[in-house]
Structure 1
Amino acid sequence: MTSLVLPDVAAQTAFSATTLSWVGMYGIALPIQFHDQRLNATADAGVSLDDAQARGIHMSRLYLALEALENAELTPEILRRLLQTFLHSHEGLSKAAYVRLRFELMLKRPALISPLAGWKHYPVEIDARLVDGMFHVEHTVEIAYSSTCPCSAALSRQLIQDRFVARFGTSDHLSHSAIVDWLGNSEGIVATPHSQRSRAIIKVRMTEAAVSLPTVRLIDTLERALGTAVQTAVKRADEQAFALANGQNPMFCEDAARRLHKALSGERTLQAFHLRVEHAESLHAHDAVAESQWRW
């Protein structure tokens, strides 16, 4: 019986001898373990092609190696081992290996006042590379928050002052109850500042000594710095507390960027960071954007 030999087209076809910096696959479906959760992720996996005489790489070897992420908690060390496997399976072909993971982390967040709680999703991206023996991990997380315009707040206060003078004049003999009543109805509060849903996109580079991915700690630190993270389940008391937080934290996009820069500067596990804030203007049809970075 004659055995069937499958054709190897990659070895048979002539090609132009050229090295390539990245060859691999994008958008691989992959379950991962992270923060005690099993999450659906997509992976981009690749290696360099440094042997100019080789037609291509062994993509199936990269695909099969990703199985190591299915049942182990995602850490820098697990990513390092994965990239080493990429290189070992392409010995003589590749000197650099890459993997990028995208997923949404689910965190249950408490309401501001009431005992309610609800789930929020945070888009996360982990980018790891092993190049010439140097291992790097970059970590991106996105946070949604509310931003109240300081200029709009000041203009609203001026209108309220003007309406107060129009109603009571310059009298020095106003009763406490009259002022309280006036402040509590629509005649008094004639204007409110505009707020918008905003987002911060934070990208950090971990130090080589990092043993874990500080996603949750970063999210908590950055939300505290902003003071107005979007909420989930709320009662009226929570909505009022959120209105108070917005009133006490008016910020332009520049203010938000500076707050986040300061908060990230205290993280010792970071080698570098880049941040971008986007305020989806409710006054204008365009967005207001600010960026900052350190050692990037």
Structure 2
Amino acid sequence: MHSHENTARLMPDVATQAQPHLRGALDWVGMDGIEVPVRFDAGDGEVQRASAQVGAFVNLVHPDRRGIHMSRLYLLVDRHLGAGGPLDAKGLEALLHAFLESHQGLADRARLSIRFDALVRRGALRSGHSGWRSYPVSIEASAGPDGFRLELGTEVVYSSTCPASAALSRQLIQEQFARDFAAGRPLDRAAVLAWLGSEQGIVATPHAQRSVARLLVRLKDGVPFDLIDTLDRVEKALGTPVQTAVKREDEQAFALANGGNLMFCEDAARRIQQALDADERLADFHVRVEHQESLHPHDAVAYASKGVPGGFGS
């Protein structure tokens, strides 16, 4: 009976065989959708366990080599992520270098993508209640001759009320007021208050829609992940992030926030741009704002970036 070592030595490995009729270097080769548990600290010191989808890739620099060692990438992902500590830059860089060491002579660049959801506790606006919000997280890391690079992506969902629609609504309310309270007649305060609280008085309301800001930030060297800080900055800048637990006082506060934060998609993109530009932890960022319009079937979209040379906005 053969030992494991002898059996493995006898097994054919066609990936190592040259293919003279199919030559060509490849940008990336690997696997995507690897299922693995990861540990992640969103920035509050509490390490969560999440189910992640991982992509692991190296380039193939030799045009005459048929393929790479996919199983080596899988086992390294399992060893470093599935049984490792919380995700951090140092650990991800070490994993990428392990990819390259396992493919010496075949590859000089490695890439890793990790996708999962992080739960963050969010407080209500007024009632004192709280609830969980699930934020999608994507981590992209790469290593090669140009060094190590790390990017963090997430999304913020918020409400956006159209400034143009608000102005048009106010005009209609003014016109209705002029009809109901004729010029030259004394105004009765109680009557005006009753009118303001009636559907007959407030004849129009501005349209609002659920909106999404998709963020991609590039961290400076040595900076730890802090998802919650990034979310707090963006949600504070927008003023109207979607809520979790909602009582009537929270809903009223949300209506007030919408009225005080009228915004086109351009306004939202610039608010986020200013908020992230003030974050000294970030080397670069890219923002895509999407207002999923309730007025028409197409969306309003704006993009913004930090504007560094050679960065996301180039």
Bucket of the pairwise TM-score, normalised by the shorter protein: over 0.9
Aligned to 2:302: 290
Aligned to 1:199: 212
Shift of 1:133: 5.2
Is residue 17–residue 66 contact of structure 2 (8 Å, CA) maintained in 1? no
SS of match in other structure, 1:213: coil
Shift of 1:172: 5.5
Aligned to 1:8: 13
Aligned to 1:159: 172
Shift of 1:132: 0.7
Alignment TM-score, normalising by the size of structure 2? 0.90
Shift of 1:240: 0.3
Separation of aligned partners in 2, 1:12 and 1:248: 67
Partner residue of 1:178 out of 191, 206, 210: 191
Aligned to 2:227: 215
Aligned to 2:254: 242
Separation of aligned partners in 2, 1:239 and 1:280: 21
1:198-235 Cα shifts (integer Å, max 9, x gaps): 0000111111232x112111011100000000011100
Instruction: Could you list the structure 1 runs, at least 4 aligned residues long, displaced by more than 6 angstroms after superposition.
Output: none
SS of match in other structure, 2:259: helix
Shift of 1:179: 1.0
Do structure 1's residue 34 and structure 2's residue 46 form an aligned pair? no
Separation of aligned partners in 2, 1:289 and 1:14: 47
- Superposed CA RMSD: 1.4
Do structure 1's residue 49 and structure 2's residue 60 form an aligned pair? yes
Whichever residue aligns with residue 18 of structure 1, its letter is G
Partner residue of 1:126 out of 134, 139, 143: 139
Aligned to 2:25: 19
Is residue 160–residue 262 contact of structure 2 (8 Å, CA) maintained in 1? yes
1:39-77 Cα shifts (integer Å, max 9, x gaps): 111001011111233221111111111121223111111
SS of match in other structure, 1:273: strand
Q: Unaligned stretches of 5+ in structure 2?
A: 42-46
Whichever residue aligns with residue 259 of structure 2, its letter is G
Aligned to 1:224: 236
Separation of aligned partners in 2, 1:226 and 1:293: 16
Aligned to 2:44: none
Aligned to 1:76: 89
Separation of aligned partners in 2, 1:69 and 1:239: 41
Shift of 1:292: 1.0
Aligned to 1:268: 280
Bigger Cα displacement from structure 2, 223-232 vs 178-187: 178-187
Separation of aligned partners in 2, 1:249 and 1:226: 7
Separation of aligned partners in 1, 2:226 and 2:71: 31
Alignment TM-score, normalising by the size of structure 1? 0.96
- Matched length: 295
Q: Unaligned stretches of 5+ in structure 1?
A: none
